[in-house]
Amino acid sequence: MTLLLFLILLAIGLVLLVRRRSCGGAAVVVLSLAWLFFAGCGPLTGMLLGRLQAGFAPDVAQWGQRNAIILLGAGTVRSGAGAIEPSLYANGRILRAAELYRSCKATGADCKVEVSGGDAMKLRQAEADVYAITLERLGLPRTDLVLEARSMNTFQNAQFSKPLLMAYGADKVVLVSSAVHLKRAVLYFAHFGIRGEAVRGDYVTARYDWLPTSENLSFADFALHEYIGVARYHFYNAMGWNAPKIPEENVTAPTHT
């Protein structure tokens, strides 16, 4: 997305220059280069990431009596051997969910991990099923795993988690995802009356350099995807395209500001 926007702006600027609109063309070319360098060299990417990730901790402040730890999916991949495995970006979330489960159980409370994610990658195996295998290998008992294997996006993660949480009767909900994803996740879950404590499974930062790097451009893409997702949510609400908003029940105040 970041590189595409640069190429579009550059192409527009060059077309204007060819048509002898030198002032406008030069301005657009400079804008495209500024976009590439500010994002690729770190300053813009760092600002975008900082705003998204601020305020999310790697742990829970306090556990309840009946705790639901919701692990949000980050995709799956097919390995060279043909096995379906969690994607690179899912591993931090899975490990954090396992850590939180052990922390929760140490208090003597009732604790469940809900794994939320369908077959968004079209690999014929839901993310929830794939992640559950890893969680079991990490020592979590199958009886404490709740699988939500229908959702294809974050909005559906929230929508399909609602009845599972109501059936369990959770008095504490914890959302586990990448820090860059949590603001959008919290917004979507609140739409369905679920306000949980958001805990980050990973945190990324921009790398400042003199020349643009692919890493910074990728992180800028991640951040823009989240900002667009938030804007789309509000637009869809205004147009009446989202599912009806549900009043909050069993509300637990988040710790971030």
In this prediction, residues 153-157 reach a mean pLDDT of 97
What does the alpha-carbon distance between residue 44 and residue 210 come to, in Å, rounded to a whole number? 13
Does 144 reside within a domain?
yes
In a domain, residue 91? The reply is yes
Q: Is 198 helix (H, G, I), strand (E, B) or coil?
A: strand
Residue 149, classed as helix, strand or coil, is coil
Tokens of 192: 């369905």
> Model confidence over 97-134: pLDDT tens digits?
999 999 999 999 999 999 999 999 999 999 999 999 99
pLDDT in tens, 23-58: 777 887 888 888 899 999 999 999 999 999 999 999
The angle at the Cα of 52, spanning 112 to 211, to the nearest 5 degrees, equals: 125
Residue 121 counted as domain residue: yes
Bridge partner residues of 146 (DSSP): 114
Give the whole-angstrom CA distance, residue 238 versus residue 254: 25
Number of separate domains in the chain: 2
Q: Beta 197-200 vs 145-148: how paired, if at all?
A: unpaired
- Shared domain check, 86 and 115: yes
Question: What is the token pair recorded at 164?
Answer: 């599972």
Q: Are residues 8 and 62 in the same domain?
A: no
Contact 199, 222 (CB under 8 A): no
Mean pLDDT, residues 66-77: 97
- What's the confidence (pLDDT) of residue 28? 79
Indicate if 12 and 80 belong to the same structural domain: no
Specify the CATH number for the domain of residue 189.
Answer: 3.40.50.620
Nearest CA among 53, 44, 57, 86 for reference residue 221: 44
Q: Quote the domain boundaries for residue 7.
A: 1-41
**pLDDT computed for residue 249 by the predictor:** 55
- Same structural domain for residues 14 and 95? no
Instruction: Say how far apart CA 116 and CA 114 lie, in whole Å.
Output: 6
Give tens-digit pLDDT for 173-211. 999 999 999 999 999 999 999 989 999 999 999 999 999
- Cα separation, 184 vs 154, whole angstroms: 8
Instruction: Classify residue 145: in a domain, yes or no.
Output: yes
Per the domain annotation, does 227 fall within a domain?
A: no
Residue 252 confidence class, pLDDT cut points 50, 70, 90: very low
Structure tokens at 76: 């799956």
Q: Which residue has the tokens 């820090």?
A: 179
What predicted TM-score, i.e. pTM, was given to this entire model? 0.89
In the predicted model, is pLDDT for residue 21 greater than 80? no
Residues of the chain above pLDDT 90, percent: 79
Q: What's the pLDDT at 184?
A: 98
Give the per-residue pLDDT at 20. Answer: 67
Task: Assess whether 118 and 167 both reside in one domain.
Answer: yes
